[in-house]
Structure 1
Amino acid sequence: MKNIFSRLILLSLLTLLSYRCFCLFKKVYFKVATPAEIQFEIKDFYSSKFKKDAEDLFTVYLDNQKKDEFNPDAFSKLLSEKIPVFKSLNWDLDLHKVAKIEICGCLPKFVVNQNFIIAENCKVFPKEYFEQFDNSKLKELTVSPKYCKGEIPECFYQFLQKIPSPIWEEYTINYEKPTFIKLSGIVKKFEIIVDEKAVFDKTKLTKLEDIYQDVENRKLLKKSLKSGTKKLAFDLRFDNRILVSRSV
């Protein structure tokens, strides 16, 4: 067993070393071997303006450089400074000395407050930066204004990624802060108050329909309606209990 473990470690180290050597070889080869041709492709850009900006930057940069002086790292840095949605630059130089440059944009992930997009790099952009993307495919939510500026915490982005699909499908989400998240039923006639932990409590969530039906059968809902409130609110943030109140 000990020998097998040692061999696995050695194999992992050799694999890592081989990959780093390959990357280094590519860089050296690109600098030493003058490309006979440079091909350029833009991927995952959903703004006509930023597409044109990337094309113009590439043309100008290439005009100012000799083919054997083209520096992918320097060009990547230039793109990151000039184009907000730029994600990465991939390149390859094949044995026929054809250099293939691929410029990638960051993908949109969530629509927030109707006018903003949270992208995969945790940055928040105006919706028009992704004008050519079908935003109807994105999950939508309302958030506190502080989550609509610049860059969101990665932990918040990871939380949104983990929210179960049924929550997105059955409720509208209003995220005020980690300890107060309101889920309003799209079809269901009640609201739910959760925190970042309780939103994953399947046991409590599955009980809500029965609790609501019980409240309705006992005519308790009518008292709520007389107060001008059309929905009940179930608060799931407390251990071993569910609080029922009128929604606010």
Structure 2
Amino acid sequence: MALMPVADALAAILAGAAPLPEEMIALEAAWHRVLARDVAAKRTQPPQAMSAMDGYAVRAADAADPSVQLKVIGEVAAGRPFERKVGQGEAVRIFTGGVIPDGADAVIIQENTTIDGDSLTITEAAVPGRHIRAAGVDFREGDVLLTRGRRLADRDLSLAAGMNYPELAVHRRPKVAVLATGDELVMPGASPGPGQIVYSNGYGLRALARAEGAEVVDLGIAADTVAATTQGIRRAREAGADILLTVGGASVGDHDLVKQ
């Protein structure tokens, strides 16, 4: 007889599938979970123009020629902006991640300078915008950067944190119940009797389900009777399983009772 192609079998299995309800979980617990909503940035990154290098923030017009001398009027460190405006002939010591002070439009890296007290000599001409990370170069408030249906990887968690999300809406984990059937099966560690074999498939299937993010319920082995098979299916319902995965008993023999 003709067997059903794998693609058709998969389509038949998925025909009745629908996304599970959403739940809010802490960002720390969201790895490998599936987003239930689009995620738009709550902030702009970086929020202001920032230095990409250690050096000096200057006005490019004042530092167009090497060997020019400028007066250093202060310092900018990450998290500690400089409150004054950089005027003509002035420079501000700046470190990576520091906010570009008002009036400055370029950064000269420290390797291309010499300093004597508050007198700065440059050895490379400044170029407007050089060594500056513009506001919003990573993303802007309102940008949708993670979309519904995405399975969250490690980098996605970093991105969501940068977008200022402490928690995310994800789909509930599916609960998968695994039921084996067959009088011929015994558990690992037991001594098989005549005609019996050790039950092994369920261990791999349960591991696969866990690897895909499911919660797993092991229903053990049901004997080859209608009553035992029915009771196993009933226990899957009682456990709140979304999916029942059976092992064995699905062929056309007199003792294959799962289809019935």
TM-score (norm 1): 0.23
Higher fraction of helix: 1
Q: Which has the larger radius of gyration?
A: 2
TM-score (norm 2): 0.22
* Higher relative contact order (CA closer than 8 Å, sequence separation 6+): 2
